[in-house]
Amino acid sequence: MTPTVDALRSTLDGRWADVRSSVREQMSRFRPVDPDLSREEYRAKVLELVHELAATGQPHTGFSPDHGGKGDVGGVVTAFQALGYGDLSLLVKAGVQWGLFGGAVQVLGTERHHGRYLRQIMDGELLGCFAMTETGHGSDVQHLRTTATYDPATEEFVIDTPEPGARKDYIGNAARDGRMAVVFAQLVTRVEAHGADARSAGASHGVDARSAGASHGVHAFLVPIRDDAGAAMPGIEIGDCGHKAGLNGVDNGRLTFRSVRVPREALLNRFADVSADGTYSSSIENEGRRFFTMLGTLVRGRISVAGGAGSAAQKALALAVRYGERRRQFADPGTGQETAILDYRAHQRKLLPALATTYALQFAQDDLVAEMHRLQAPQADQQGARPDERAQRDLESRAAGVKAIGTWHATHTIQTCREACGGAGYLSENLLPQLKADTDVFTTFEGDNTVLLQLLAKNLLSNYGKGVQKLSPLGLARFLGGQALDAAAERTGVNKLPRRIPGRGFRPRDRAEQRRLLADRAEHLLAGVARRLRPALKKGADQFGIFNAAQDHLLDAARAHVDVLVFDAFVAGIGRAADPAVKALLETVCDLHALATIERDRAWYLEHGRLTAAETRSVVAAVNALCAELRPHARLLVDGFGIPEGWIACPLLEDPAAESGATTSVPEMVG
Amino acid sequence: MTPTVDALRSTLDGRWADVRSSVREQMSRFRPVDPDLSREEYRAKVLELVHELAATGQPHTGFSPDHGGKGDVGGVVTAFQALGYGDLSLLVKAGVQWGLFGGAVQVLGTERHHGRYLRQIMDGELLGCFAMTETGHGSDVQHLRTTATYDPATEEFVIDTPEPGARKDYIGNAARDGRMAVVFAQLVTRVEAHGADARSAGASHGVDARSAGASHGVHAFLVPIRDDAGAAMPGIEIGDCGHKAGLNGVDNGRLTFRSVRVPREALLNRFADVSADGTYSSSIENEGRRFFTMLGTLVRGRISVAGGAGSAAQKALALAVRYGERRRQFADPGTGQETAILDYRAHQRKLLPALATTYALQFAQDDLVAEMHRLQAPQADQQGARPDERAQRDLESRAAGVKAIGTWHATHTIQTCREACGGAGYLSENLLPQLKADTDVFTTFEGDNTVLLQLLAKNLLSNYGKGVQKLSPLGLARFLGGQALDAAAERTGVNKLPRRIPGRGFRPRDRAEQRRLLADRAEHLLAGVARRLRPALKKGADQFGIFNAAQDHLLDAARAHVDVLVFDAFVAGIGRAADPAVKALLETVCDLHALATIERDRAWYLEHGRLTAAETRSVVAAVNALCAELRPHARLLVDGFGIPEGWIACPLLEDPAAESGATTSVPEMVG
């Protein structure tokens, strides 16, 4: 029983199906732009599209209802994801404007910022930047070097770039279109002794600010960078990052501040404020915790990037699978007919496991979006109460993990799809080159993937903090692994079972067996890391050396944890499917995803006695069989993504024989 | 004892060191061009560079001394490889002009073509195309559809594109600059009955040509495509492939032929000819063998692409390693100092095994070039005698394998290097984007990598042909594997030892142990494939089904075979090193390469009882230890490639703190 494409799509569309439909209808005119445009033309075109997008009212939906939005946080991220089928420069520029810039004003600002700016931001009248990354500090943003020093004499902050490495870099919207920027800087207030003589004490600012004042860590400030005519404001030097691998419709630039003065109210003061006399106050006392609370509210950016990466992978697979069905090469010696390249096992191996994992990631992404919506949508925000910190931290961890795994998967999948289309896949007219080039940076922006996985692993370890120090290594292991994964197991109905005995009745396509293998690995890796890192807690330990020696282990533990989350999300998603034919097909896709994941790590399962050699070979055989089983449904599976035809139409999908009437007719007589 | 960079470079430079030096000196002005050039400007710029290159006299060296060349086949390919440090559009356009177009005229043509064209081709006065690939047939070129039908009435060939899928596609030099093309087409002569009435019989040409005439398979023809003014010749339609992922300085185009007439002498007739009356003759009777002999002479293209890919990977590693040493992120809690990112194990894991394999591939490449030189340089060509067919076929196999493994390695390595440089790696000013985009097609042009590995595997199997059918499976296995690898073992002095007993005294850094593991795997995989494919020889067998079920196995066998070849080349190269410090360093690099290869396939070694779990873990530990051991030499190792500084200078390599005098000085007083 084969499901209809509509039934499959509707299952995939999930909770925000209406948003997806409206994006498909409203926005399919935003298809990829001509790759031959010059950089300036491309930027101008994308700016035009940003304004068109604002005119649809779609970007408003994510903002607070108090200021003309709809508070539909999940909806706006889902829409963003669907935009990923179109031009990715538009996606990213929209993400900078409404997600990062607008999002920071909404989430880190208070009414004094909201009333004045949100409407203009939603309407695209005020374009802005999110100026966090510096030339010298990208991953370690807690230690960025830009300073904002409060001057009580004028009730202003003075923003400075104290050294070339503190220049804000790669900032979207900065090189051409932005009028304001949310600037992240070390907030410094003068120590009282210097308060009376603020102006002359200014000479001691900059890198040595802490010696002359009190530093309170990184905070965000709203800084005008251009006047209405587009000229840089006094004291602001604006550079252009120039040509990039992709996303050339986005104007990334560099900002240097030379004693730029902004009023005291420019501080986005939801979590901390400075009074007129220079007294600093915050509802969160610990500086590190305050910083991560601020950063955490921006989790939406990471979730959005993961979503955009998913759409890009889906689009690449739609192109490669349809080409693989149409393209024939080498005659079958039995029939004399040329074989469709997707009928070759090697070709199926390239595309179908990647397709199955793309399905799995779509469900994981939907879970993330739903959880973010639950935590961030206005109805959840009870009169400005602090968000549920534990749930928020958990969401950040999952977002970090899914973003890392999802964007690497996209990069790898798009590369594979390009190769699977041969020379045709290298031509820009066939869309894959742009897709590859545009998404390539997804693995390192909005958090470098390796750093994100470390963040995830550290959160997993620290969630349980001091409480577990008393446990034996084994007890610790069970505790750590169990806590992190049991909740999910309950949610998906796949119960946690005792570890299997290798060599006994292995059933690769048993869902509980798959979960046991994945979860067992995640638990074991995490416990091992915990054990290896424990000596670092001792006084005088070589913390860096201990951490560094375990770093690959730590990253494996994080990856394995995400594997379980993604698997669980897939299983839960199948559980929600109403149509039995859809359910049956998705069960097969889930088998392929799970077994391809286990196959990839089969050395680990062998090394740790979880699977025998005969069992890992049966995993390989099952992956092959599943590829053959899903081959007839490959087209249906890519059609299920519901990518508007207008966004993928290209010569690659056309049969050259259909191009003209000549086809197999006899050519004209020779002169 | 650390070697000097000069000693290391001189070892790597090898036999054609003088050619490399002269390219470094002469051509370092050909650095990558401005990525903001429009497509037309870029094409014009690259054409200009092609003429400059011709003026150096360098491209002449590969051609026959009889016509002004030097017959230095190995030297010209080495020079081509060194050009890979510069602009890759120039590399590819030069490759099309002198390697493919000029090479085809030299190798497939005879004196009547050489005398008339070679000088002009060498000088770049006559620019040409290599028109093999068609829209519908890229990999299966034996079945391409363009026809060249001999018309004895006028003593001409009539070239036709009988259907849209037969259009020549992706042809370099076609869209803008080429004046002639070597066109590959099915050669058809009329059957005698129709000879007298040639003109009216022309109506039955095209796809049905074989019914009206005798088809002799694919041959090459020299066809003018543009007049001196640049207008398309009558009957020739020229299209433009437009914008591509990379290599936009190369004008790839499409050619359609509408009854284009060329004289009988346009046939490149080294291996076959048609007399004035239409009688076909060839020194090679079998059509398939004739075709592969013609293709085989063009092996230079594949070897050149592998070389270009190697240079690109080297350049990417030079950028990423130097950035990794300079870039610091996150403070070491012990010292408070920020850590250089290359000091992190995860970062070393990304770059250093790739660097080791890049070394290994360089030696494998040099072996290929030397063998090609031995077979193809004029002194080897005794009065037009047919080349040593066995040696030629062996070279083709090795070229196919090294090209496939080398270009995949380059794609993967450049991607990794881009990510290892974060946002900076995404900016075109830092060279990595262009490197990635330009080389991406290397995996699928000059033979799709998957198809090439199949070709290699089939050659390995068929070399031994019918003689082995009588052997038992085990005997077959030993025979196949042994024959293919024993010669190499003798050459490198690493003797073939009996299979090791797992669990007993494993020494991961023992060279013989490493080879035994690699060779054992290659033998076992090949024997297994042979066994699985044997039933296909039976009458009535489902040949496609049997082949397809074993396809992934076949590809693994090919890859494993190349792993052994590459390892052996590295070991032999170390043996040639004169400087003991160089030798010692290379031994460590070779350990890392070999063990990273074994680590990658450790599931196989476990599944097949070749290594115990404790042993594979010791392989992983050894890879980690080797990364740490080579870390202090990373800069030396990339400097050893001898890439001229002018070709890699970019902001990525500059310390931002050194950019201005401001650095850590106190900023100006605040207003």
DSSP B114-149: IIIIIHHHHTTSS-EEEE--BSS-SS-GGG---EEE
Residue B191: the pLDDT is 64
CB B662 to CB A542 under 8 A?
A: no
pLDDT at A566 over 60: yes
- Closest residue, chain A, to B428 (C-alpha): A244
Dmax (CA) of chain A: 100
d(CA A149, CA A188): 5
Q: What is the mean pLDDT of residues B83-88?
A: 92
Contacts of A135 in chain B (CB under 8 A): 656
Place of tokens 């930027």: A43
CA distances from B646 to B35, B306, B506 (A): 17, 23, 46
Q: Which amino acid is at B224?
A: P
Token readout for B95 is: 């490759």
Contacts of B339 in chain A (CB under 8 A): 544
pLDDT at B626 over 60: yes
Q: Half-sphere exposure of residue A254, counting CA atoms within 13 Å on the CB side?
A: 18
- Closest residue, chain B, to A444 (C-alpha): B422
CA end-to-end distance (rounded Å), chain A: 57
What does the pLDDT look like over A364-389, one tens digit per residue? 999 999 999 999 877 654 445 556 78
Place of tokens 């080579």: B630
β B147-151/B156-160 pair status = antiparallel
With 0-12 / 13-18 / 19 or more C-beta atoms within 10 angstroms meaning exposed / middle / buried, residue B495 is exposed
Q: What is the dihedral of CA B13, B17, B21, B23, to 10 degrees?
A: -90
* β partners of residue B267: B221
With 0-12 / 13-18 / 19 or more C-beta atoms within 10 angstroms meaning exposed / middle / buried, residue A60 is buried
CB A617 to CB B609 under 8 A?
A: no
d(CA A216, CA B417): 36
pLDDT at A202 over 50: no
Residue A607: the pLDDT is 95
Q: Which residue has the higher pLDDT, B201 or A386?
A: A386
Instruction: Tell me which residue of B576, B535, B161, B151 sits closest to A657, measured CA to CA.
Output: B161
CA distances from B239 to B232, B252, B256, B496 (A): 10, 9, 8, 55
Q: What is the mean pLDDT of residues B589-609?
A: 97
Identify the helix (H) or strand (E) that includes residue B522. Answer: helix B511-533
d(CA B610, CA B502): 6
Q: What is the mean pLDDT of residues B375-389?
A: 64
What is the 3-state composition of chain B as percent helix, strand, coil, each rounded to the nearest 5?
Answer: 60, 10, 25
CB A33 within 8 A of CB A332: no
Q: What is the mean pLDDT of residues A507-536?
A: 93
Q: Which residue has the higher pLDDT, A33 or A431?
A: A431
pLDDT at B490 over 70: no
d(CA A495, CA A511): 10
- Closest residue, chain A, to B600 (C-alpha): A603
Identify the helix (H) or strand (E) that includes residue A12. Answer: helix A5-13
Of B170, B344, B411, the CB nearest to A423: B170
Residue B292: the pLDDT is 84
* DSSP annotation string for A384-416: GPPP-HHHHHHHHHHHHHHHHHHHHHHHHHHHH
Residue A28: the pLDDT is 67
CB B493 within 8 A of CB B452: no
Instruction: Tell me which residue of B514, B474, B509, B668 sits closest to B584, measured CA to CA.
Output: B509
pLDDT at B220 over 80: yes
* β partners of residue A128: A180
Q: Which residue has the higher pLDDT, B97 or A662?
A: B97
pLDDT at B472 over 90: no
Q: How many CB atoms lie within 10 A of CB B531?
A: 17
Q: At what angle do helices B580-600 and B5-13 cross, to 10 degrees?
A: 70
Q: Half-sphere exposure of residue B78, counting CA atoms within 13 Å on the CB side?
A: 28
Residue A139: the pLDDT is 83
What percentage of chain B exceeds 90 in pLDDT? Answer: 72
Q: What is the mean pLDDT of residues B79-103?
A: 94
Residue A551: the pLDDT is 94
- Closest residue, chain B, to A167 (C-alpha): B656
d(CA A167, CA A184): 11
How high is the mean pLDDT of chain A?
88
Residue B12: the pLDDT is 96
Q: Give this prediction's pTM.
A: 0.91
ipTM, two decimals, is: 0.91
Residue A212: the pLDDT is 59
Q: Which amino acid is at A455?
A: L
Residue A228: the pLDDT is 92
Mean pLDDT check: name the lowest of A453-462, B20-29, B451-460: B20-29
Residue B491: the pLDDT is 47
With 0-12 / 13-18 / 19 or more C-beta atoms within 10 angstroms meaning exposed / middle / buried, residue B632 is exposed
Mean pLDDT check: name the lowest of A11-15, A173-177, A489-493: A489-493
CB B342 within 8 A of CB B420: no
What percentage of chain A exceeds 90 in pLDDT? Answer: 71
Q: Half-sphere exposure of residue B11, counting CA atoms within 13 Å on the CB side?
A: 27
| Radius of gyration from C-alpha coordinates of chain B | 27
pLDDT band (50, 70, 90) for residue B193: very low
Instruction: Tell me which residue of B84, B97, B86 sits closest to B124, measured CA to CA.
Output: B97
pLDDT band (50, 70, 90) for residue A334: confident
Q: What are phi and psi of B189, to 5 degrees?
A: -110, 145
Contacts of B338 in chain A (CB under 8 A): 140
CB A330 to CB B243 under 8 A?
A: no
Contacts of B138 in chain A (CB under 8 A): 329, 422-423
User: CB contact, 8 Å: A9 with chain B?
Assistant: no
CB A333 to CB B135 under 8 A?
A: no
CATH match of A1-126 with 1.10.10.10: no
Q: What is the mean pLDDT of residues B559-564?
A: 97
Mean pLDDT check: name the lowest of A54-63, B147-156, B483-492, B495-504: B483-492
Contacts of A602 in chain B (CB under 8 A): 603, 607
> Which class is B128-286 in CATH?
mainly beta
pLDDT at A31 over 90: no
pLDDT at A667 over 50: no
Q: Which residue has the higher pLDDT, A116 or A387?
A: A116
Place of tokens 């090791």: B500
Q: Which amino acid is at A398?
A: R
Token readout for A198 is: 């603020």
Instruction: Tell me which residue of B265, B263, B258 sits closest to B234, measured CA to CA.
Output: B258
What percentage of chain B exceeds 70 in pLDDT? Answer: 86
CB A173 within 8 A of CB A122: no
Q: Where are the domains of chain A?
A: 1-126, 128-286
Residue A575: the pLDDT is 96
pLDDT band (50, 70, 90) for residue B382: very low
Residue A388: the pLDDT is 79
pLDDT at A606 over 80: yes
Instruction: Tell me which residue of B279, B267, B269 sits closest to B156, measured CA to CA.
Output: B267
CB B607 to CB A624 under 8 A?
A: no
User: CB contact, 8 Å: A203 with chain B?
Assistant: yes
Q: What is the mean pLDDT of residues B479-496?
A: 47
Q: How many CB atoms lie within 10 A of CB B191?
A: 14
What does the pLDDT look like over A392-402, one tens digit per residue? 889 999 999 99
User: CB contact, 8 Å: A286 with chain B?
Assistant: no
CA distances from B486 to A182, B405, B508 (A): 66, 21, 22
Q: Which long-range contacts (CB under 8 A, 24 or more apart) does B379-385 make?
A: B379/B71
Residue A272: the pLDDT is 96
The residue of B133, B158, B252, B426 whose CB has the most chain A CBs within 10 angstroms, and thus the best one to mutate to test that interface, is B426
Residue A220: the pLDDT is 97
> How close is the nearest chain B Cα to the Cα of A47, in Å?
19
Residue A387: the pLDDT is 61
pLDDT at A205 over 90: no
